[in-house]
Structure 1
Amino acid sequence: MRIISWLITNAVALAVAAQLFDGIRFTGPIHGQEEIKHKLLPLLLVALILGLVSATVKPVLKLISIPFILLSLGLFLLVINAAMLGLTSWLADGLGIGFHVNGFWTAVGGSIVITIVGWVVDGLIGPEDDRR
């Protein structure tokens, strides 16, 4: 059950970021039922890729970047989160999913939105123990 809530949280956060930033987009129709039909599976796949990248690559980058994180008082974590979103975009493009992030600053803004929306959705869903 936890993996489903995790996937939904990532998908909602990605959808919000894609709505707020022109540089974060999914290819396909842009209005109505056709948009939902064509973008739901890619959204879930990109959420899965983002989660896997964040679970595998991000801890290694954080470990290597500890001096930069400390010197910047944690702001370097924004760069790491943006890099994870950029890597997700690159992997999704390589797999033919049709998800694109244009530019570093768009990735920074998108990663901030994804983090905040993820916190909010997790707060609304509640802890794992409360869902039984």
Structure 2
Amino acid sequence: MKRIARLLITMLALILTAKIVPGIRIESIGAGFWATLILGLVNVFLKPILTIFTLPLTIFSFGLFLFVINGLMLLLTASMVNDFYVSGLLAAIFGSIILSIINSFMLDVLND
């Protein structure tokens, strides 16, 4: 039950992010659901591999390259889901930052 609540909260956070960030657009609730599901799977399976391969660059940039990796995960998700659009890497990076902030805040409220 808690996983379903987390999924719905993340979906809501993604929809709010699309309302805030000009370069991100979600056309339907279904697209938001699939984007959330695929983004979760991409973050679980692909992000750790990319993080390991780019570790020297991440260390050299004092961890700031992780923002780029998060943006790339959002762009990859947008390429897989119909009716979910991200205009470019800058919008994806900014969107991933906003998504993380909103998601952290909402999940913190859920856990209290």
Q: TM-score range by the shorter chain?
A: over 0.9
Q: Is the 8 A contact 1:17 1:114 kept in 2?
A: yes
User: What CA distance in whole angstroms lies between the structure 2 residues aligned with 1:23 and 1:108?
Assistant: 10
Q: Could you report, residue by residue, the CA deviation over 1:15-67 in whole angstroms, capped at 9, with x for unpaired residues?
A: 1110012210023xxxxxxxxxxx22221111101111111110111111111
Matches within 5 A, 1:1-132: 1-27=1-27, 39-92=28-81, 97-126=82-111
Q: Is the 8 A contact 2:75 2:92 kept in 1?
A: yes
- The residue aligned with 1:30 is none
Q: Could you report, residue by residue, the CA deviation over 1:85-122 in whole angstroms, capped at 9, with x for unpaired residues?
A: 00000011xxxx21100011100110000111111011
Q: Could you report, residue by residue, the CA deviation over 1:66-93 in whole angstroms, capped at 9, with x for unpaired residues?
A: 111111111000000000000000011x
User: Which structure 1 segments of 5+ residues have no match?
Assistant: 28-38
User: Which structure 2 segments of 5+ residues have no match?
Assistant: none
Among all aligned residue pairs of Structure 1 and Structure 2, give the percentage whose two residues are the same amino acid.
Answer: 36
Larger radius of gyration: 1
Q: Give the aligned CA root-mean-square deviation in angstroms.
A: 1.2
- The residue aligned with 1:36 is none
Q: Is the 8 A contact 1:50 1:88 kept in 2?
A: yes
TM-score (norm 1): 0.80
The 3-state SS of whatever aligns with 1:3 is helix
Q: Is the 8 A contact 1:81 1:111 kept in 2?
A: yes
The 3-state SS of whatever aligns with 1:69 is helix
